[in-house]
Structure 1
């Protein structure tokens, strides 16, 4: 099943293009929302990145980071 995503209530057809444009403009955090109510967050410092998927309000979420990123997690 294909899931449609929006950013600031605007449909997103190419997520990679949106992220590249936002990073180039200095926006290092981007939140997307799906029609099913899920949220997808992309956070970067331009050298590494973290993606977080939340299935709904109150969901602790799942995350993935750049494989060589050095980070601390309390999970």
Structure 2
């Protein structure tokens, strides 16, 4: 089975690698500096930027509290 990814606050339709790059650029241009994606295997991927640098975090599974997403401020 191939792993697919969706942008969490967008459509539930999986995005291709080409689409996600365009989507990230569009979100950043609109001021959305944090983007979360969820995979069909249950993993989470976060992109966080300040327009000069970016950080990417991959979470393999949910944490003990049921939510693996840290608060980014």
More strand by share: 1
Q: Structure 1-normalised TM-score? A: 0.70
Unaligned runs of 5+ in 1: 62-75
Kept in 2, the 8 Å contact 1:43–1:51? The answer is yes
More helix by share: 2
Q: Structure 2-normalised TM-score? A: 0.72
Q: Which has the higher contact order (CA 8 A, sep 6+)?
A: 2
Match of 1:6 in 2: 6
Q: Spell out structure 1 runs of 4+ moving beyond 4 A.
A: none
Indicate the RMSD between aligned Cα atoms, in angstroms: 2.0
Unaligned runs of 5+ in 2: 69-73
